Structure 1
Amino acid sequence: MLGECVADAFVTAADIGGLGLRVRPGGGPANTAAALARLGTPTRFLGRLSADVFGRLFRTRLTDAGVDLDAVVEAAEPSTLAVADVDDRGRADYSFHAQGTADWQWTDTELARAARAPLACLHTGSLALVRAPGDAAVERLAAAVRARATVSLDPNVRPLLVEPARYRERLARWCAVTDVLRLSDEDLAHLLPGTPLPRAAETFHAWGARLVVVTLGERGAYASLDGRGVRVAAPAVAVADTVGAGDAFMAGFLHALHGGGALGGRLDGLDEAAVRSALARGVEVAAAVCTVRGADLPRTGPA
């Protein structure tokens, strides 16, 4: 699992003249790593973690979830902070404080050292793919590990921080080295606006991605394996917020693929039944995360 850790600060009620902030560890790749390890899949996190108060929070969260931190780089830069304002429907609007922070400073040497151990799947995405100076190094690593691992990518478009055009100009290049491409319906609206799901999947397949997955919130999830479409519904739950739901989906999805022996190469032998089962597991895990505040699985969530 390669990418950023972000301190998610949620706005809360406070005394007159001020705001309260409740800080939880987040970041898309870190969320997925924590959930995947909690589900029982061996998970290593490749991240640059600061020694500041938030970096210590990230380490505690990932260690408690059972994530292997042996590949973590000890970073001198500060941690990334995101302030989340959650509306009455549980949807969060973010403002980011990410200039010069630890997550984006990857070098080729650091990544080569971090990814030296055996791996079946490299999952990456989000801001680490588009924030300089480390973004190019992350792309080069994804291309390099294809010889020995499945590559999974989640763009996780953040239009308030990075112009969607930057994602669009790189997406074909990413697909060329990606086996599994996961997007939300909101991501798709930024990347291929107005394009129906099957047609969007055809585009991504043409660029090289074998398995395209689009999460649809309360409407479930859709996948296309080499052009063969599969769709599942989402379970109905009482939503506390949707923070980390897409990341949790990906954890459940990859957990199912790993359990079925599908990871480690170019998804050879994967069929529509296995994709449907993985989608169902993904929406189950995402729904469990939606029942609590923040991005972590509830302790009573799916195991």
Structure 2
Amino acid sequence: MFAVLGECVADAFADRRPDASSVAPRPGGEAARSADLGLRVFPGGGPANTAVALARLGDPVRFFGRISGDVFGGLFREHLASSGVDLSGCVDAEEPSTLAVASLDEHGQAVYRFYAEGAADWQWSPAELGSRDLTGVSCLHTGSLALVREPGRQAVESFAAAAAARLTVSIDPNVRPSLARHEDYPVSRWCDVADILKLSEEDLAFLAPGEPVERVCDTWHEAGARLIVVTRGASGALVSLAGERVVVAAPEVTVVDTVGAGDAFTAGLLHRLGERGLLGGRLDGLDLATAAEAASFAARVAALTCAVAGADPPWAHRLAAPSTAEPG
């Protein structure tokens, strides 16, 4: 069983309908221009996306999240539960949900503006987390904003550190420069807890600007992380296992958007390692060839997520079907 700890985020995409502007009167008589905007809202949040992707791949997953009672909270619960995620470890929160308004560039890459102050996701207390049940869990995945936002960040980090004594820990920094500073990402300290560190090349550029990726990986290996995977979009992923490295290719795919692709990659990687019976400890039995095969599988899961709108990872039967996306 997997446990995933972190946030849910409402990903909103605004569509301005052409020629829909109008002039409306105000009480004082002056005119105000308005526009007809359509808002598409998808359930998201890095950890929640990973939990959904794991469940759809057929893994038992317990999600630890503080989920609001507002309209977005209902959306999160329905999405997670319908994908097969166990919500028994969630907290019913009074605070509002986190909202992210996203726009897409010409490559389908999302740029977010977050509305996160006072949101439910960051309010974890040691008492709340201390009562989360890890019975039967072999791997805990966390990271993203829950690991950097006050006031709950220390409680999340302490929970992961305690869990590391008896199971595999996976961390994805999922850097958000608009909400956190460079010093909010103590990756070397996290590597003392994490067995698996997955991050994107954009994350790496923020965390270690100008540094060769090999040198950064070696530094984090020395700090404790045995397996480090750096995703590179269409260029595949770098797999670094205790200093040995290999690059795996990414499947070719027609990209609708990249929302949730990195989270789906994480799920695919963890799923494959779990299938091989390698989780539950310090990854001592993992070799580079097996790590590379797991990353190749993860890249396929991510590619199928890019082929649809929003964070909508594939179900297991789509992975079992003949692939229409061959390695590039």
TM-score (norm 1): 0.97
Residues 181-219 of structure 1: CA deviation (Å, up to 9, x unaligned): 111000000001112221111011111111111000000
How far the C-alpha of 1:19 sits from its partner, in A, is 2.5
2:50 equivalent to 1:32: yes
2:163 equivalent to 1:145: yes
Alpha-carbon distance between aligned partners in 2 of 1:147 and 1:157, rounded to the nearest angstrom: 26
Q: Report matched runs for 1:238-277 at 5 Å.
A: 238-277=254-293
Alpha-carbon distance between aligned partners in 1 of 2:318 and 2:9, rounded to the nearest angstrom: 23
Alpha-carbon distance between aligned partners in 1 of 2:118 and 2:197, rounded to the nearest angstrom: 28
Q: Report matched runs for 1:17-166 at 5 Å.
A: 17-166=35-184
What do you get for the CA RMSD once the two structures are aligned? 1.2
Residues 122-173 of structure 1: CA deviation (Å, up to 9, x unaligned): 0000000110110000010011011211000000000011122321xx2111
| Ranges in structure 2 where 5+ consecutive residues have no aligned partner | 22-34, 321-328
2:190 equivalent to 1:174: yes
How far the C-alpha of 1:106 sits from its partner, in A, is 0.3
2:304 aligned counterpart, secondary structure: helix
| Ranges in structure 1 where 5+ consecutive residues have no aligned partner | none
Alpha-carbon distance between aligned partners in 2 of 1:109 and 1:115, rounded to the nearest angstrom: 13
Q: What one-letter code is carried by the residue in structure 1 that aligns with 2:60?
A: P
Alpha-carbon distance between aligned partners in 1 of 2:190 and 2:270, rounded to the nearest angstrom: 19
2:63 aligned counterpart, secondary structure: coil
Determine the structure 2 residue equivalent to 1:13: 16
Alpha-carbon distance between aligned partners in 2 of 1:211 and 1:116, rounded to the nearest angstrom: 23
Determine the structure 2 residue equivalent to 1:280: 296
Alpha-carbon distance between aligned partners in 1 of 2:133 and 2:126, rounded to the nearest angstrom: 10
Alpha-carbon distance between aligned partners in 1 of 2:105 and 2:246, rounded to the nearest angstrom: 32
Determine the structure 2 residue equivalent to 1:237: 253
Determine the structure 2 residue equivalent to 1:4: 7
Q: What one-letter code is carried by the residue in structure 1 that aligns with 2:174?
A: N
Q: What is the identity percentage for the equivalent residue pairs of Structure 1 and Structure 2?
A: 59
**Contact 1:8–1:81 under 8 Å retained in 2:** yes
Alpha-carbon distance between aligned partners in 1 of 2:293 and 2:86, rounded to the nearest angstrom: 27
TM-score (norm 2): 0.90
Determine the structure 2 residue equivalent to 1:296: 312
- 177, 186, 210: which one pairs with 2:202? 186
Alpha-carbon distance between aligned partners in 2 of 1:10 and 1:46, rounded to the nearest angstrom: 26
How far the C-alpha of 1:113 sits from its partner, in A, is 1.1
2:211 aligned counterpart, secondary structure: coil
Residues 62-87 of structure 1: CA deviation (Å, up to 9, x unaligned): 00110111101111111000000112
How far the C-alpha of 1:298 sits from its partner, in A, is 4.5
Alpha-carbon distance between aligned partners in 2 of 1:38 and 1:159, rounded to the nearest angstrom: 30
Q: What one-letter code is carried by the residue in structure 1 that aligns with 2:90?
A: V
Alpha-carbon distance between aligned partners in 2 of 1:160 and 1:113, rounded to the nearest angstrom: 32
1:295 aligned counterpart, secondary structure: coil
Alpha-carbon distance between aligned partners in 1 of 2:107 and 2:284, rounded to the nearest angstrom: 41
How many matched pairs?
Answer: 301
1:156 aligned counterpart, secondary structure: coil
How far the C-alpha of 1:116 sits from its partner, in A, is 4.0
Alpha-carbon distance between aligned partners in 2 of 1:142 and 1:116, rounded to the nearest angstrom: 11
Q: What one-letter code is carried by the residue in structure 1 that aligns with 2:12?
A: A
Q: What one-letter code is carried by the residue in structure 1 that aligns with 2:227?
A: L
Alpha-carbon distance between aligned partners in 2 of 1:297 and 1:135, rounded to the nearest angstrom: 27
- 222, 225, 228: which one pairs with 1:212? 228
1:144 aligned counterpart, secondary structure: helix
Alpha-carbon distance between aligned partners in 1 of 2:116 and 2:267, rounded to the nearest angstrom: 25
**Contact 1:175–1:181 under 8 Å retained in 2:** yes
How far the C-alpha of 1:302 sits from its partner, in A, is 2.1
2:240 aligned counterpart, secondary structure: strand
1:199 aligned counterpart, secondary structure: helix
